Amino acid sequence: MATLTPLVRLLPLLSLLLLIGCAKPLVIVPDNVGERGLLVAQVASQSMPEVLRGDPVIKHPDGEHRTHIGGIRGDTLIVPLHPGEYELSYLQQMTGSSSIPTAVGTMHQTSYRNYPVHRRFTIESGRATNLGMLIIEDAGFRRVLVRQANNQNEIERFLQDRYPATYASLRAEPRIVDAPGQRLDQPELAALRRHIADQRARDAAWDLEEGATRLIAGPAGTLAHVRRGADGVSVEQLVEAPTVTDLSGCSGTARRLACVSGPHHYLLVEGDRAQERNAPAGVVINSAHAFGERGVVLADDNMRLHLSRDGGRSWSVVEEAVRAKPFDRSRYRGIALNHVVFTNGSRGFYAFESGGGSNTGLVHVSFDGGTPKSIPLPRSLSRLRNLVETPSGVYLTPAYTEMAKGKVHFLPREDAEWQVYDLPVAGCRDMRVAAAAPRIMDVSCRSGYYRSEDGGRHWAPLFQAQSLFR
């Protein structure tokens, strides 16, 4: 009797894995849709931003549900489909995986969380079907509330700018049609924006002194002035935005913000006005930031900084942090917008790559027009999340670590050597530095809250109510 080889014994398992793989197609946006059409939408969430890392699960005309991996890019859903009747059933996020040894090999198990959407739509040949801006919020008890806002202008610009060949191949007129579904009217949208602003105000303005105000931004085109009073932080005034795009990536000062509103456009928010402006010719914007009274800086995918000190009338270029290669957008989950982070300091602003390591750039640009300065990052830095400037120097906030203790990096003012301190435990997600006493800092960790009163050298546990995260 012949003995089966290990490969032959594994064939049933390999076939099963292939079948599973076939049920989860990888989304590739073609230059020419041909006889197919497109499903498009924007996705935003204040309470569950992790939905943007999910994949759309679509019920096809044959009744089968298929997961379209990479169907959400940044905050935009785009999936080519053949003509027919469909349903966007839910967005699916992978939450974990495990490996189990068996007699025939290792079985891999993956867990997911599903966010129900249940929006039906029709795909027509040569046309894009738009589900609108899907605003997905936690309704409690593992329930999800989905609302739709009109985003016709935003989605058309997205296709024209990001996928010009694909957009040109949409031969039907009109090229984009709205799928059925009730859209929010203006009063409902204003109420949603106020709710989002109320939710964001506490975290976005935790360090405000009593009586001070700050501009904040969020999903669904939310812009608002918030004020800290004796009873806490509250929304003082909404600012009308000409878009429903997620503005969470806006960056700037307490009174001015700049936001990416398109590849060649940015939104400048000053006082109670938000105006869209054009980038310099040929510049494709990745990130935007406002500084000082009239300053604006735009970063492209090479981390080349396009700088204006006169509100956008004239521009110069800062190349101290330019990458050898641009951010990679070729993968199915390309680098998102707002990948360059800006932080204002006392004499200028800092710019760096979100999540970048020791081999990435950190540049300081002075407010008064002095020579930009490139700052070498420490070799022990794994991922740069944020930067805090204090009178004594600059802190790099720690990246999350699952097992090992994270690191706090400190560069004393007028010094070239980084100092490195251990966090008290592993699993720390955020750090806050007290504005009034900049050697006091708190970290929020998986096991609780900890405080250092000597700039990160020593730590002691404390309750959340006592911390800067209260």
> Please, which residues have CB within 8 angstroms of residue 331's CB and are 6 or more apart in sequence?
none
Whether residue 245 is contained in a domain is answered as no
Quick check: bond before 174 cis, omega within 30?
Answer: yes
DSSP assignment string, 267-331 = EEEETTEEEEEEPSTTPPPSEEEEETTTEEEEE-TT--EEEESSTTSS-EEE-TT--SS----SS
User: Quick check: is 367 in a domain?
Assistant: no
Listed residues 155, 182, 209: the one ending a domain: 182
Please enumerate in sequence order all residues whose Cβ is within 8 A of that of 180, keeping only pairs 6 or more positions apart, or say none: 120, 121
Residue 226 lies in a domain: no
Give the total number of structural domains in the chain.
Answer: 2
CA dihedral over 413, 418, 424, 427, signed as positive or negative: positive
Residues of the chain by 3-state class (helix, strand, coil), percent to 5: 15, 45, 45
Where a domain ends, among 167, 182, 197?
182
Q: Which of 144, 357, 151, 356 is closest to 243 using CA atoms?
A: 151
Quote the domain boundaries for residue 410: 399-470
Domain-terminating residue out of 129, 152, 182: 182
- What's the CATH code of the domain at 87? 2.60.40
Per-residue pLDDT of the chain (470 residues; tens, 9 = 90+): 444 444 344 344 333 334 344 456 789 899 999 999 999 999 999 888 888 889 999 999 999 999 999 899 878 999 999 999 999 999 998 887 777 777 777 877 788 889 999 999 999 999 999 999 999 998 887 788 899 999 999 999 889 888 999 999 999 999 999 998 889 999 999 999 999 999 888 777 778 888 999 999 999 999 999 999 988 889 999 999 999 989 999 999 999 999 998 888 999 999 999 999 999 999 989 999 999 999 999 999 999 999 999 999 999 999 998 988 888 765 555 556 788 999 999 999 999 998 888 888 899 999 988 889 999 999 888 888 889 999 889 999 887 777 788 889 999 987 789 999 999 998 888 889 887 788 899 999 999 999 999 999 999 999 988 888 87
Does 405 reside within a domain? yes
Task: Please say whether the beta carbons of 433 and 448 come within 8 A.
Answer: no
Measured CA distances, 132 to 39, 47, 171 (Å): 10, 19, 21
Instruction: Say if 176 falls within a structural domain.
Output: yes
* pTM of the predicted model as reported, rounded to 2 decimal places: 0.84
